[in-house]
Amino acid sequence: MQFRDLKQQYQVLKAGMDKAILDAAASGAHIMGPQVQELEKQLADYVGTGHCISCASGTDALTLALKAWDIKRGDAVFVPDFTFFSSAEAVSLEGATPVFVDVDRETFNIDPADLENKIEATIRKGESVPKVIITVDLFGLPANYPAIRRIARNHRLLILEDGAQGFGGSIGGKRNCSFGDISTTSFFPAKPLGCYGDGGACFTDNDEWAALMDSYRMHGKGSSKYENVRIGMNSRLDTIQASILQVKLKAFAEELEAVNKAAAEYTARLADLVETPVVPAGFLSSWAQYTVRLNGKTERDGLQAYLEGQGIPSMVYYPTPLHRQTAYRDSGLPEPDCPVAGRLCETVLSLPMHPYISSEEINRVCNAIEAFLHREKEAGGERSR
Ligand SMILES: *Cc1c(COP(=O)(O)O)cnc(C)c1O
């Protein structure tokens, strides 16, 4: 069993995929070929934003957004404590200060109440100026945008939506990567919409920021490639990756339906056994991960080992809250108070999930979880006798 079956996806899409790849190879336009602009238009249409600016990775996409806003030393950027490292890394790369915010124990996303606390504490302390809230649509589920937008408006902060895992999710039909003032995504192969290497994109309705990000991704170009008006980056999406993404985007609606069906099957089987993922009413997840919560670290680690013994892969996303990563532990940043993130790191487990997982495979995973928990209960019963 595969945790995320990219080989099977390739087999399903093979005919169109092989042609797209060979056409890109034959075209000779390997950088910024016409497929890149076509894809950007298709992605902007799908998400519902005025602009899409593709680039070389999801991390670069965050960096391009922060550069467009001139985020720098002395600026505070609020980042959930429970996410992939690069949500905060991009902030630090620009010299700004990430302020870690706790998350909601049920949705895994940034907790609006703690966000408000951390903003007020940052203002009181006066060492850095609040500028941006980075929201993460963790595991595919949109963050609580109604609440976060209110907070952003009250404090005049910008929202940078890190939709690296969220492409395809939505709230009331409005899609992820359209909720930020700038939003970003990643095309890393295992993300909901992945290419065959690294890639990413920025989305915005704002013409000025779009033009700045377009400049920053190409060495700070001005009106031509060889007029450089600012210090930028080399961060473009390859033509061949754009071609691959065009093929995957055509299959995406069907895949989104398939992962939601798979998630419903998991939840129906597991709801009485473990804490299953919570999707608020009106929200749709793109299920980058299907993540359950166990009662404690011993039980979680025991289950993961048991599943491994049964040939079932599982992953701990994430084992360490960002503020306790070595890179941040010694950075002189104050220890933030994020108890929920710390607890989640000890109790979460992500199960095999992808559009091509079968009901038989889901059943096998659920049977194994049931058997493990039953065995634990018996052993626990014996211990207490
Ligand atoms: C994967 C990921 C990124 C980074 O994307 P890359 O394309 O790997 O640079 C950023 N944020 C989150 C939440 C991610 O999951």
pLDDT in tens, 221-236: 999 889 999 999 999 9
Strands annotated E in the chain: 51-55, 75-80, 97-101, 129-136, 158-162, 170-171, 174-175, 182-186, 200-204, 283-284, 290-293, 348-351
Q: Ligand 1 atom closest to Cα of 59?
A: 9
Q: Please tell me if the CB atom of residue 188 comes closer than 6 angstroms to any atom of ligand 1.
A: yes
List, for residues 281-315, the tens digit of each pLDDT value: 999 999 999 999 999 999 999 999 999 999 999 99
The residue count for the chain: 385
Pocket test for ligand 1, best of 139, 187, 191, 217 (most atoms within 8 A of CB): 191
Residue 68: per-residue pLDDT: 98
Cα–Cα distance measured from residue 323 to residue 101, given in angstroms and rounded to the nearest whole number: 10
Take residue 250 and report the two structure tokens written for it.
């055509």
Q: Ligand 1 atom closest to Cα of 60?
A: 9
How large is the average pLDDT for residues 265-272?
98
Residue 116: per-residue pLDDT: 98
Residue 272 CA to its chain's centroid (Å) = 28
Take residue 204 and report the two structure tokens written for it.
């915005």
Ligand 1 midpoint to CA 121 (Å): 28
Ligand 1 midpoint to CA 329 (Å): 21
Q: Ligand 1 atom closest to Cα of 83?
A: 13
- Which letter does DSSP use for residue 140 in this model? G
Residue nearest to atom 2 of ligand 1 (CA): 164
Q: Please tell me if the CB atom of residue 344 comes closer than 6 angstroms to any atom of ligand 1.
A: no
Classify residue 149: in a domain, yes or no.
yes
Last residue of a domain, one of 194, 221, 248: 248
Take residue 174 and report the two structure tokens written for it.
């409005």
List, for residues 234-243, the tens digit of each pLDDT value: 999 999 999 9
Pocket test for ligand 1, best of 4, 91, 162, 167 (most atoms within 8 A of CB): 162
207 burial (CB, 10 Å; 0-12 / 13-18 / 19+) is: exposed
- Helix, strand, coil percent content, the chain, rounded in steps of 5: 45, 15, 35
Residue whose token pair is 């014996």: 382
- Which letter does DSSP use for residue 142 in this model? P
Q: Please tell me if the CB atom of residue 241 comes closer than 6 angstroms to any atom of ligand 1.
A: no
Q: Please tell me if the CB atom of residue 318 comes closer than 6 angstroms to any atom of ligand 1.
A: no
- Which letter does DSSP use for residue 323 in this model? G
How large is the average pLDDT for residues 359-382?
93
Cα–Cα distance measured from residue 349 to residue 346, given in angstroms and rounded to the nearest whole number: 9
Give, in order, the Cα–Cα distances in Å from 212 to each of 57, 68, 147, 207, 233.
Answer: 17, 6, 29, 9, 12
Last residue of a domain, one of 213, 248, 283: 248
One domain for residues 15 and 81: yes
pLDDT band at 337 (very low <50, low <70, confident <90, very high): confident
One domain for residues 201 and 317: no
Residue whose token pair is 């915010």: 101
Residue 383: per-residue pLDDT: 64
Write the CB contacts of 362 (distance below 8 Å, at least 6 apart in sequence): 262, 265, 266, 269
Tally of structural domains, the chain = 2
One domain for residues 217 and 276: no
Q: Would you say residue 203 has pLDDT above 90?
A: yes
Classify residue 235: in a domain, yes or no.
yes
Q: Would you say residue 385 has pLDDT above 60?
A: no
Cα–Cα distance measured from residue 155 to residue 351, given in angstroms and rounded to the nearest whole number: 38
Q: Can you name the residues that pair with 293 across neighbouring β-strands?
A: 275, 348
SS3 assignment, position 131: strand
List, for residues 123-142, the tens digit of each pLDDT value: 999 999 999 999 999 999 99
Q: Please tell me if the CB atom of residue 164 comes closer than 6 angstroms to any atom of ligand 1.
A: yes
- Which letter does DSSP use for residue 139 in this model? G
One domain for residues 278 and 176: no
Write the CB contacts of 25 (distance below 8 Å, at least 6 apart in sequence): 240
CATH number, position 20: 3.40.640.10
Residue 381: per-residue pLDDT: 65
Handedness of CA 290, 294, 296, 300 (dihedral sign): negative
List, for residues 2-35, the tens digit of each pLDDT value: 999 999 999 999 999 999 999 999 999 999 999 9
Classify residue 219: in a domain, yes or no.
yes
Cα–Cα distance measured from residue 254 to residue 168, given in angstroms and rounded to the nearest whole number: 11
One domain for residues 177 and 273: no
List, for residues 37-79, the tens digit of each pLDDT value: 999 999 999 999 999 999 999 999 999 999 999 999 999 999 9
pLDDT band at 329 (very low <50, low <70, confident <90, very high): confident
Classify residue 1: in a domain, yes or no.
no
Ligand 1 midpoint to CA 249 (Å): 19
Pocket test for ligand 1, best of 4, 54, 57, 59 (most atoms within 8 A of CB): 59
Q: Would you say residue 384 has pLDDT above 90?
A: no
User: DSSP assignment of 329-340, as one string?
Assistant: HTSS------HH
pLDDT band at 345 (very low <50, low <70, confident <90, very high): very high
Rg (CA), the chain: 21
Last residue of a domain, one of 211, 233, 248: 248
- Domain housing 159: 6-248
Ligand 1 midpoint to CA 43 (Å): 18
Of 131, 133, 237, the residue nearest 179 (C-alpha): 133
